[in-house]
Chains A and B, each alone.
Chain A
């Protein structure tokens, strides 16, 4: 799992474009680490929902909404201003996750079962309904690629998108939408494992690529950002 976490963080970090703006919402520690990693090699403006633009973090806090993020920052940002950026189309990339994900890339963080009579009530959308539609590029992360997560149809569409959606999981990278397909399998996984753990049909390319593994340089930078391996302790 540690390899998978580093692979996810590095893959997220590579997806961030140079000279772009990105943001994290509540409870998103891994995307936060990925952004800090990307900032080491790319010019990226990072908006954090607790109120910090470009926070400088001495230690990785246990969440993306921890008070320590406010301590050392380029400037303060009020919460409505985060949507000001989004409404103007200025946020290039944002990260999302979910309890259920379907082949169209719809995400469910609302409930398992019927909304009116939920078997399990999930935490709710936070800002994901609007931000998923307002940000140019939305990337979904999933740490437990299983059939329980990747379902034919989500119980509730918390948020969805008109565009295809890239999902980076602990096993590989998928592109979901009208034609759901496998982009690559991580080095420590394989096509069979991905098919076996996905609850809908994925188009498999003739020759499946292996996701580029973290380079030595990326791992060095990641270790520098998170020397105490907070990223690993977050997965209890």
Chain B
């Protein structure tokens, strides 16, 4: 386990890697890490995740991705529902290899890897054209899928300590990600002694603590999920999400990247720029 500044942590990621990341819809996506991947111009990444529209759309729009195993791509927010603009363009123009599937297949693939299995059944996977498209082996109640073993999992946590213990207050899939992946890159709102983190008594059984054996590196990144939300810390930045969608829909994504990602040296600068607008 290493304590690294974020850019050093992301330098560990090689082109062609399989990347998984945490976050669900507009909550706790590791956007600081995603931006740094784009700044470092990583190529031919393969991505897999549960619904997490901004992270996938950024990486795909920036041309970092060659294949995407995803279940759902859309922003559901104050303005209604919008299909992820860059993902949609890439899919329609065949710019990336799509492996579209049910989220449960992705969860089962991660589970197989976490248990050291090569493949696993996905019960309930039937009555769908995806069986033909993705060429599955069928079972009585579903299909067989292969283990998913990410080279890197990117996780933004509420807190971590110098020993590599990590605290996540809403660990939706992190247990699986950590067990399934080869390397874990953590960004955290707070790096402190976990003992000092005060969690209301009524909620103490809800969070998840991970131990250092599994963690590759920890980076302190304040507001590391911004402009998505981070439970207990901040809400998503509605105006910026709106702006992102507007830029992307108008075929203006390059200027978005130039201004907000390449035009900022690090996440602090990005936040400052967004908040100045």
Q: Contact check, A83 vs B76: say whether CB atoms are below 8 A apart.
A: no
Q: Contact check, A27 vs B173: say whether CB atoms are below 8 A apart.
A: no
Contact of A50 among B24, B94, B236 (CB under 8 A): B24
Contacts of B129 in A (CB 8 A): 110, 115, 156-158
Tell me the residues in window 115-173 of chain A with beta carbons closer than 8 Å to chain B beta carbons. 115, 117-134, 156-162
Contacts of B73 in A (CB 8 A): 123-124
Contacts of A64 in B (CB 8 A): 76
Q: Contact check, B124 vs A78: say whether CB atoms are below 8 A apart.
A: no
Q: Contact check, A27 vs B127: say whether CB atoms are below 8 A apart.
A: no
Q: Does B103 sit at the interface, judged by CB under 8 A?
A: yes
Q: Does B171 sit at the interface, judged by CB under 8 A?
A: yes
Q: Contact check, A26 vs B51: say whether CB atoms are below 8 A apart.
A: yes
Task: Give the interface size bracket for A toward B.
Answer: 35 or more
Q: Contact check, B71 vs A124: say whether CB atoms are below 8 A apart.
A: yes
Chain B interface, number of residues (Cβ within 8 angstroms): 56
Q: When A and B form their complex, what is the total count of cross-chain residue pairs whose Cβ atoms lie within 8 Å?
A: 160
Contact of A62 among B28, B77, B172, B231 (CB under 8 A): B77
Known interface pairs A123-B83, A125-B101, A157-B129. Does A83 touch B107 (Cβ–Cβ under 8 Å)?
yes
Contacts of B84 in A (CB 8 A): 123
Q: Does A66 sit at the interface, judged by CB under 8 A?
A: yes
Q: A122-B83, A125-B130 are in contact. List 15 more A-B contacts (CB 8 A).
A: A26-B25, A27-B72, A63-B76, A67-B27, A67-B231, A78-B175, A86-B124, A121-B91, A123-B72, A123-B73, A125-B100, A133-B125, A157-B128, A159-B128, A233-B78
**A interface residues, Cβ below 8 angstroms from B:** 26-27, 29, 49-51, 62-68, 70, 75-76, 78-80, 83, 86-87, 106, 110, 115, 117-134, 156-162, 233-236
